Amino acid sequence: MQVTDLNGCPIEVTNLREAIKMARQYKEYRHEDKSFSEFDKRQKAYWTDMYEKLTAIKKRLDDN
């Protein structure tokens, strides 16, 4: 299945459960070095968006 990421790029997902696990971990990642705070904000937005899309797909599949 494909998911469109925050940048509009199609991402091929071959293992939904693993993709959700990875997105959940990545959305919480932060650098200790505060000079990366702007980068971390963009990454959090990206991975939060991806996590929400993936979990919505899982919910639709589970409901069927």
Is pLDDT at 64 greater than 90 in this prediction? no
| pLDDT tens digits, one per residue of 3-54 | 999 999 999 999 999 999 999 999 999 999 999 999 999 999 999 999 999 9
CA distance 3 to 46: 13
pLDDT at 35: 95
The reply to whether 51 falls in a domain is yes
- How many angstroms separate the Cα of 2 from the Cα of each of 13, 31, 41, 53, 54? 6, 29, 25, 11, 10
Domain that holds residue 17: 2-56
Distance CA 11, CA 32 (A): 29
Average of per-residue pLDDT values in the chain: 96
Rounded to two decimals, the pTM is: 0.90
> Does a structural domain hold residue 64?
no
What is the Cα–Cα distance from 43 to 40, expressed in whole angstroms?
A: 5
**Does residue 20 belong to any structural domain of this protein?**
yes
Q: Please report whether residue 63 resides in a domain.
A: no
**Residue 61 lies inside a defined structural domain of this protein:** no
Number of domains in the chain: 1
Confidence of residue 62 (pLDDT cuts 50, 70, 90): very high
